[in-house]
């Protein structure tokens, strides 16, 4: 905590026993004292900072599972060690938890006794003036020609405005104190940190985060099976899913046509039609423009537009003329120009399975014999895919965005290529050799990636962090100090001693004392009283 | 003026500001060297009045003894000149920021990539210095500030430069102004606080030696500690506001999660924790003074590492606003599987 440390750091020694000998209770008390000491809190804070570092340098599974997977493949020796240490999930690892739990205990152990002390001291009077004011760090003295009573009365008036005064100060002294709210701010800040942790914990235990890639026009309803990926908190309850359905009716993109970012996308707008409830309880259809920075909230659930791309409609007919695949196929953008990668898997084709893997050029151009993509907008789309046949290894779990070619066969194709490559513009169909079938590119659709999440406790966390900020400002900016004035009668007037004690650790008490002295001077007759 | 002309103006203004900061730095060095000569001339009559004893009696006041040598005029002249040049450089720097914002179509705040963040951050450092140098008696910090700003301007022009573009969609939000203004303001203030803490440590190492030359201009250790604390106490709530309030609110709107342990978030959190530790340390026995100042420097290091460095260590950050980043995330989940 940020106020001056008052507690002794070690327990008082017991003379009746040799050093190093502690009873169980005393050991516990010693451990408690150590844990709740400011020094320990400080070390724990620094440990927390240090422990957070690896998570920013090593890809985290819960932040970016794709990157984490790639990293693991590239570092075969380190991966098992890192996995044991939990370095791919630092912020969920036991050792990270240990640090912040200790910190929370230390915090509680610090604020509870301090709240009690504060509750007792809240109504306390400022302490009596110390006998030797000159021993205080900031002090001064001067001789006044006025009578002691006059000076004392003025001191009470001047200090009484912003300070609490000791009622029974008597004997020619004034004791004043201000800044009682500083400690309130301090306690509020530390309490609020606990509230933030509570809100955060609620979110990560009971919330979830899921995503789905939807081709424009595909209806979607909020049930577990409809998600492409779903990361629930450890205490998430699937019955808490809000029932609703939605469809992206239309998707608009503004493309930059000039300037250094020409060809990149700028504004996106997914026109959403949604309805709350399911089945018979279904509510009325509503419209919403889902945009970046403009999420939709349905019940406790938030929907976000976080990605988009193209889905060329590809149809595969097999050797017998049957349509074995005809779908808008999600291609994943490789960069801001939406040059995209995608695969088609038609395992059921006869006589043999057909797999396609390749790229989409939204605006294709042939520059000196090389295929180039000029723009992210689909002005002249071309798909360029390699053809594989045979076993696509569909019996094992695999990503829908990757073609498993380990058991597949190649097709003899153009010179210099390992297998046949087909290039298609919309409306074109290419027959595959050897009676394999044909592939058509029927048109372009777009897809959107919608993130759907529930974050319970987010309001608790927000209220907590705002209270923490208010408390913090109180504890930093409310000046807490004690001031004393002692007036001793002398032959020609009075000796006035003024001293101050700063209790906030950031004040210029010398300055305060000298200003007080200035205000204790008798008002000169020739000018108005200076406040 | 066309966008291109605004962009040219901005680039030229940055170059001009760099040159004027450099001239200011030279003027500060001239002031220092004049101080040394004053010192030599005064060696015999060395005054002990700024020895920085623990309790300064209020009655004596902090008046400097008058020194009659004409050299002091030179010191004052160079000091004023340096301050004036710093002011001019800061004004030109501001023109560069305005030009940058005007060169975009549509016009916008100049905070959309690392180059722009860096020139804005350094501007705030210079501005805060100019605003508080008189009030808190920080004019002696001038050479450190101008040197720092000049260095970072060079870094930004050489390595971080990026042509103007429209605001990426994810940044197109009112929170950009609130979040970035508070983050940059806190960064500027923390940086100045780091400088005073560094000077505190250097001065502390000289303990006992007479305060000659430049060191005579530097306030007492107590005063340095106090000034450092006040700057940090000013910056810390702003940082809290930027990193723990506006950041999460905006992240929730744009990225669907108010805290996702993004590398930039992690380092902002680390910086926050280090500065919280600094504020703790100032009131903890055995940590006051030297250790607290070291923590302040650690804080400055994490702050600037987070500002620039983390972008080069981590590629997963959603805060990496390099030119070639898609406007919104295009990465699809790798976990998606089809049943086999």
Sheet of A481-490, strand order: A138-144, A493-502, A481-490, A173-178, A164-165
Mean pLDDT is highest, among A111-125, A379-393, A406-420, B209-223, for: A379-393
**Does A488 contact B at CB distance below 8 Å?**
no
User: What part of B 52-91 touches A (C-beta under 8 Å)?
Assistant: 54-59
Q: Where in chain A is the domain with CATH 3.30.310.80?
A: 133-179+479-520
Q: Does pLDDT of B167 surpass 80?
A: no
Contact A345, A390 (CB under 8 A): no
Q: Which residues of A touch B245 (CB under 8 A)?
A: 462, 465-466, 469
A196 to A12, A104, A115, A295, A469: CA distances (angstroms): 36, 12, 19, 23, 11
Contact A487, A240 (CB under 8 A): no
**Does A394 contact B at CB distance below 8 Å?**
yes
> What 8-state DSSP symbol labels residue A27?
H
Q: What is the rounded CA–CA span in Å between residue B190 and residue B187?
A: 5
Q: How confident is the model at residue B41 (pLDDT cuts 50, 70, 90)?
A: low
Contact B189, B234 (CB under 8 A): yes
**Does B240 contact A at CB distance below 8 Å?**
yes
Question: How many other C-beta atoms lie within 10 A of the C-beta of residue B320?
Answer: 17
Tell me the sheet residues that pair with B90: none
Q: What is the rounded CA–CA span in Å between residue A210 and residue A227?
A: 6
Element (H, E) at A111: helix A94-121
**Does B103 contact A at CB distance below 8 Å?**
no
- Torsion, Cα B85 B86 B89 B94, to 10 degrees, reads -140
Q: What length does chain B have?
A: 340
Q: Does pLDDT of A529 surpass 60?
A: no
A263 to A254, B59, B130, B324: CA distances (angstroms): 10, 72, 43, 12
Phi-psi bin for A299: left (phi > 0), alpha (psi -120 to 50), beta?
Answer: left
Q: How confident is the model at residue B318 (pLDDT cuts 50, 70, 90)?
A: low
Q: Does pLDDT of B187 surpass 90?
A: yes
Contact A458, B258 (CB under 8 A): yes
Contact A360, A381 (CB under 8 A): yes
- For the stretch A430-464, pLDDT in tens is 999 888 899 999 999 999 999 899 999 999 999 99
What pLDDT does residue A360 have? 94
What pLDDT does residue B18 have? 95
Q: How confident is the model at residue A21 (pLDDT cuts 50, 70, 90)?
A: low
Mean predicted confidence (pLDDT) in B223-236: 91
Contact A260, B165 (CB under 8 A): yes
Given the DSSP bridges, would you call strands A364-367 and A354-361 parallel, antiparallel or unpaired?
unpaired
Q: Does pLDDT of A243 surpass 80?
A: yes
> What 8-state DSSP symbol labels residue A292?
T
Q: Which residues of B touch A470 (CB under 8 A)?
A: none
Cis previous bond, B106, omega within 30: yes
Question: How many other C-beta atoms lie within 10 A of the C-beta of residue A141?
Answer: 17
What pLDDT does residue A258 have? 73
Relative orientation angle of helices A458-477 and B221-240, to the nearest 10 degrees: 160
Check CB contact under 8 Å for B331 and A514: no
Residue (of B140, B161, B142) closest to B150 by Cα position: B142
Q: Does pLDDT of B323 surpass 50?
A: no
Across chain B, what does the average pLDDT equal?
A: 81
Closest residue in B to A265 (Cα) is B327
> What 8-state DSSP symbol labels residue B242?
I
Q: Does pLDDT of A380 surpass 80?
A: yes
Residue (of B156, B160, B162) closest to B123 by Cα position: B156
Check CB contact under 8 Å for B169 and A461: no
What pLDDT does residue A111 have? 86
Residue (of A412, A425, A417, A421) closest to A385 by Cα position: A421
Q: Does pLDDT of B269 surpass 70?
A: yes
> What 8-state DSSP symbol labels residue B157?
I
Q: Which residues of A touch B266 (CB under 8 A)?
A: 52-53, 55-56
- For the stretch A50-102, pLDDT in tens is 999 988 888 888 777 777 888 888 888 888 999 888 888 888 888 999 999 99
Q: Does pLDDT of B184 surpass 50?
A: yes
A275 to A250, A302, B40: CA distances (angstroms): 16, 14, 84
For residue A437, give the 3-state DSSP assignment.
strand
What pLDDT does residue B194 have? 95
In chain B, % helix, strand, coil (3-state, to 5) comes to: 70, 0, 30
User: What percent of chain B clears pLDDT 90, i.e. is strictly above it?
Assistant: 41
CATH level 3 topology of A133-179+479-520: TATA-Binding Protein (3.30.310)
What pLDDT does residue B63 have? 46
Cis previous bond, A507, omega within 30: no
Domains of chain B in sequence order: 1-42+72-167 (1.20.120), 168-324 (no CATH)
Q: Which residues of A touch B7 (CB under 8 A)?
A: none
Relative orientation angle of helices B71-102 and B142-155, to the nearest 10 degrees: 30
Mean predicted confidence (pLDDT) in A335-350: 88
Q: What is the rounded CA–CA span in Å between residue A314 and residue A381?
A: 13
What pLDDT does residue B319 have? 62
Residues 6 or more apart in contact with residue B64 via CB below 8 angstroms: B49, B50
- Torsion, Cα B319 B321 B325 B331, to 10 degrees, reads 0
What pLDDT does residue B207 have? 74
Mean predicted confidence (pLDDT) in B65-84: 75
Residues 6 or more apart in contact with residue A374 via CB below 8 angstroms: A263, A337, A363, A364, A365
User: What percent of chain A clears pLDDT 70, i.e. is strictly above it?
Assistant: 93
Q: Does pLDDT of B102 surpass 80?
A: yes
């Amino acid at each position: 905590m940020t106020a001056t440390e008052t507690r002794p750091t070690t327990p008082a020694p017991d003379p009746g026993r040799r050093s190093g000998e502690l009873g169980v209770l005393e050991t516990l008390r010693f451990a408690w004292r150590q844990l709740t000491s400011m020094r320990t809190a400080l070390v724990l804070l620094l440990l927390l900072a240090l422990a957070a570092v690896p998570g920013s340098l090593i890809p985290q599974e819960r932040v970016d599972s794709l990157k984490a997977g790639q990293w693991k493949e590239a570092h075969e020796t380190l991966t098992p060690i890192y996995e044991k240490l939990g370095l791919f999930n630092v912020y969920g690892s036991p050792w990270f938890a240990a640090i912040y739990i200790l910190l929370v205990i230390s915090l509680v152990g610090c604020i509870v006794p301090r709240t009690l002390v504060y509750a007792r001291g809240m109504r306390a009077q400022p302490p009596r003036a110390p006998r030797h004011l000159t021993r205080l760090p900031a002090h001064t003295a001067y001789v006044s020609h006025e009578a002691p009573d006059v000076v004392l009365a003025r001191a009470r008036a001047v200090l009484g405005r912003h300070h609490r005064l000791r009622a029974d100060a008597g004997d020619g002294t004034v004791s004043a104190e201000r800044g009682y709210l500083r400690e309130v701010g301090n306690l509020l800040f530390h309490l609020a940190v606990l509230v933030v942790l509570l809100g955060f914990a609620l979110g990560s235990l009971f919330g979830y985060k899921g995503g789905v890639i939807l081709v424009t026009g595909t209806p979607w309803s909020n049930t577990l099976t409809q998600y492409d990926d779903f990361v629930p908190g450890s205490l998430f309850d699937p019955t808490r899913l809000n029932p609703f359905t939605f469809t992206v009716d239309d998707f608009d993109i503004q493309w930059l046509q000039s300037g250094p970012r020409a060809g990149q996308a700028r504004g996106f707008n997914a026109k959403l039609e949604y309805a709350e409830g399911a089945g018979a309880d279904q509510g009325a259809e509503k419209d919403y423009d889902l945009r970046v920075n403009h999420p939709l909230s349905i019940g406790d659930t938030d929907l976000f537009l976080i990605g988009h791309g193209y889905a060329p409609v590809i149809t595969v007919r097999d050797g017998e003329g049957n349509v074995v695949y005809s779908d808008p196929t999600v291609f994943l953008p490789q960069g801001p120009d939406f040059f995209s990668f995608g695969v088609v898997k038609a395992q059921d084709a006869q006589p043999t399975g057909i797999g396609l893997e390749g790229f989409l050029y939204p605006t294709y151009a042939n520059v000196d014999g090389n295929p180039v993509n000029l723009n992210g907008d689909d002005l002249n789309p071309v798909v360029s895919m390699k053809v594989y046949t045979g076993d696509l290894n569909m019996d094992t779990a695999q990503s829908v965005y990757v073609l498993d070619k380990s058991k597949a066969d190649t097709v003899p194709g153009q010179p210099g290529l390992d297998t046949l490559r087909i290039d298609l513009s919309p409306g074109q169909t290419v027959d595959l050799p050897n009676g394999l079938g044909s592939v058509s590119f029927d048109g372009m659709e777009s897809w959107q990636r919608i993130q759907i999440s529930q974050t319970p406790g987010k309001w608790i966390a927000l209220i907590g962090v705002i209270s923490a900020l208010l408390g913090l400002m109180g504890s930093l900016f409310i000046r807490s100090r004690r001031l004393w004035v002692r007036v001793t009668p002398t032959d020609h007037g009075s000796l006035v001693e003024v001293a101050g004690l700063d209790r906030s650790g950031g004040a210029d008490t010398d300055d305060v004392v000298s200003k007080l002295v200035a205000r204790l001077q008798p008002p000169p007759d020739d000018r108005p009283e200076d406040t | 003026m066309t966008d291109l002309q605004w962009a040219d103006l901005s680039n030229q203004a940055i170059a001009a500001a760099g040159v004027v900061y450099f001239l200011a730095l030279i003027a500060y060095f001239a002031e220092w060297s004049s101080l040394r000569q004053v010192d030599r001339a005064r060696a015999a009559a060395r005054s002990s009045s700024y020895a920085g004893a623990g309790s300064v009696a209020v009655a004596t006041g902090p008046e400097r003894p008058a020194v009659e040598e004409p050299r002091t005029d030179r010191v004052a002249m160079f000091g004023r000149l340096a301050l004036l040049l710093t002011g001019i450089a800061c004004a030109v720097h501001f023109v560069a920021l305005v030009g940058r914002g005007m060169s975009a179509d549509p016009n916008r705040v100049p905070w959309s990539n690392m180059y722009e963040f860096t020139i804005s951050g350094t501007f705030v450092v210079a501005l805060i210095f100019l605003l508080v140098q008189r009030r808190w008696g920080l004019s002696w910090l001038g050479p450190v500030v101008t040197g720092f700003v000049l260095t970072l301007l060079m870094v930004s022009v050489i390595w971080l430069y990026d042509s103007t573009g429209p605001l990426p969609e994810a940044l197109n939000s009112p929170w950009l102004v609130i979040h970035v203004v508070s983050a940059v303001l806190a960064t500027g203030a923390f940086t100045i606080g780091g400088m005073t803490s560094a000077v505190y440590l250097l001065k502390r190492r000289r303990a006992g030696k007479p305060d000659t030359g430049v060191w005579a201009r530097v306030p007492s250790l107590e005063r340095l500690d106090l000034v450092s604390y006040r700057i940090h106490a000013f910056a810390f709530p702003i940082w809290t506001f930027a990193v723990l309030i506006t950041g999460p609110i905006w992240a929730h709107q744009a990225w669907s999660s108010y805290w996702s342990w993004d590398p930039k978030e992690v380092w902002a959190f680390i910086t926050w924790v280090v500065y919280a530790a600094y504020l703790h340390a100032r009131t903890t026995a055995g940590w006051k003074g030297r250790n607290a100042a070291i923590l302040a420097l650690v804080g400055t290091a994490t702050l600037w590492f987070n500002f620039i460095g983390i972008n080069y260590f981590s590629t997963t950050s959603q805060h990496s606003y390099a030119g070639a980043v898609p406007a919104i995330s295009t990465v699809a989940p790798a976990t998606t599987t089809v049943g086999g």
